[in-house]
Structure 1
Amino acid sequence: MMSLSDNPIIVITGASSGVGKETALLFARSGAITVLLARNRERLKSVAAAIEQRGGRSAASTVDINDAGQVASVFGKIIARFGKIDVLVNCAGFGMFERVDEMDLETVRKMFGVNIVGLIACTKAVLPQMIRQHSGQIVNIASIAGKIATTRSAVYSATKHAVIGFSDGLRLDLKNSGVTVTVVNPGPIRTPFFKTADPDGHYAASVERFMMDPTFVAAKVVRAVRTKKREINLPWYMGACSRLYQLCPRLVEHLGGRWMDLK
């Protein structure tokens, strides 16, 4: 992999597993200093150890991004230690596949709190410094679900739709600031996400053959940082479906009804 210049400081939320973990490992291999953030201390220590065993450099801190005070404190310490943050990858998030009439409001609040409010809090924590240095990149991991909602995912899709909308608006706010914004919209990925979202395993089993490996998605994220890509939809055919859905929603719902009801 082509090295990243000047040992950039890259902060990754949700770095203890899945795409966040694999993205951290790839960035470290490329010469970046990775700062790992998540709630699970032991898993973070394991990822940091894996990076250091491979000759990379990293730091790790536990944080609940649903707690604004924790977010401000942790990001303040990162900037104080390293002097800057070059890239923020907002990867933390969770989902739960339930019908709206079955889901309690506390779960709704928590999902919005982590997936969108926490993401915004992390973004706000790095923006003043990035704007001052006239450089930086925000990478928001959203989902194809933010473009095509399916059964039993109305709330999760709403949070990811909000991430996409926030990213688009933020990009306009930051025009001419030197700070760029990338949004990544993946389809199903083979990660621990489904242990919470789909505890009975029915949906995961139905889409197993379509699931992407987290290392594949992580490689796309790393490449997007190098190229400052505006948006990535993964896999390509789901991105194509999302564009068709914007043009002909009734047609897509009719033709794809069986796939949209897999949950």
Structure 2
Amino acid sequence: MNLENKVVVVTGGSAGLGEQICYEAAKQGAIVVTCARRINLIGKVKEQCMALSGKAAFAFQLDIANPESIDHLVERINEEVGPVDILVNNAGYGIFQEFTEMDPAIFQQMFEVNVLGMMVLTQKMAIQMAEQKAGHIINIASIAGKIATPKTAVYSATKFAVIGFSNALRLELKPVGVHVTTVNPGPIETNFFDQADPSGNYLANLGSIVLEPNKLARTIVKNMVHPKREINRPHIFGAAATLYTLFPSIGDFMAGSLFNKK
């Protein structure tokens, strides 16, 4: 692997998968820029990245749903860090709830965080990467963007949007040497579920199929050097998504029964 002195920007880098991606990139010699709302947490991530890489690291506060916050982030990166080689769009959240019971304000907020803010930041970075004729954009979507299950109507909609956006962006940026990868994980053992499913029942029902964030982070960082179109984990969920496309009626049955653990 060769991430030596590559600038890697990770949104949602204060905890969970984003935090682990920062650490794995730092281990490979990258200059890590971790971004999130919780400034106290990203400060700790920055210090750990510096210890792992022996290089500078940066922690910038970011509210991905706020365009002004995105503008400020890009300005600081340009002034204090330099050209970005790799952008990991990891910021996002979900709430597992029946659609008919959900507050409509959550619809807008979830799209602002999971989709619209991500697109605004990506556009700014993509313009710079296109000028450099090099770069890599990694969008953390979800297997829920391929297989929707009960209580994920809004969350799945945002992740379907991320996948569609990524697929089109990949074709647009390929001629200028910029790669686009979509990562579609199943459930990961992180604090994501503190908000998505406060009961804790979902993770408990899934058992050993739950992903470990550090292992998935290693896979994602390897992909930074050898870009792939798409990463689906666990593999069985990727296979299930293919079957869902080929046999939608069977897929609906499985999504509403076998995969419905909420």
| TM-score bracket for this pair, using the shorter chain length | over 0.9
**Cα gap change, 1:132/1:255 in structure 2, threshold over 3 Å: closer, same or farther?**
closer
1:53 to 51, 54, 61: 51
Equivalent position of 2:17 in the other structure = 19
Spell out the pairing of 1:98-137 with structure 2 (5 A cutoff).
98-137=97-136
CA distance in 2 between counterparts of 1:252 and 1:198 reads 24
CA contact (8 A) 1:28 1:57 kept: no
TM-score by length of 1: 0.96
Equivalent position of 1:31 in the other structure = 29
Q: Aligned pairs, how many?
A: 261
User: 2:65 is matched by which residue type in structure 1?
Assistant: N
3-state SS of 2:195 partner: helix
Equivalent position of 1:224 in the other structure = 223
Q: List runs of 5+ in structure 2 lacking aligned partners.
A: none
Q: List runs of 5+ in structure 1 lacking aligned partners.
A: none
Spell out the pairing of 1:88-167 with structure 2 (5 A cutoff).
88-167=87-166
CA distance in 1 between counterparts of 2:70 and 2:254 reads 44
User: 1:18 is matched by which residue type in structure 2?
Assistant: G
Equivalent position of 2:257 in the other structure = 258
CA distance in 2 between counterparts of 1:247 and 1:16 reads 38
TM-score by length of 2: 0.96
CA contact (8 A) 1:112 1:159 kept: yes
Report how far residue 209 of structure 1 moved.
2.0
CA distance in 2 between counterparts of 1:180 and 1:35 reads 19
CA distance in 2 between counterparts of 1:29 and 1:140 reads 21
Report how far residue 255 of structure 1 moved.
4.3
Equivalent position of 2:40 in the other structure = 42
Deviations, residues 178-236 of structure 1 (Å, cap 9, x unaligned): 11100000001000000000011111211132111001110111111111111011011
- How high is the sequence identity, in percent, across the aligned residues? 42
Equivalent position of 1:62 in the other structure = 61
Deviations, residues 12-44 of structure 1 (Å, cap 9, x unaligned): 000001110000001001010000000001110
Cα root mean square deviation, aligned? 1.2
Report how far residue 57 of structure 1 moved.
2.9
Report how far residue 127 of structure 1 moved.
1.5
Equivalent position of 1:3 in the other structure = 2
Report how far residue 256 of structure 1 moved.
5.3
Spell out the pairing of 1:227-238 with structure 2 (5 A cutoff).
227-238=226-237
CA distance in 1 between counterparts of 2:258 and 2:162 reads 24
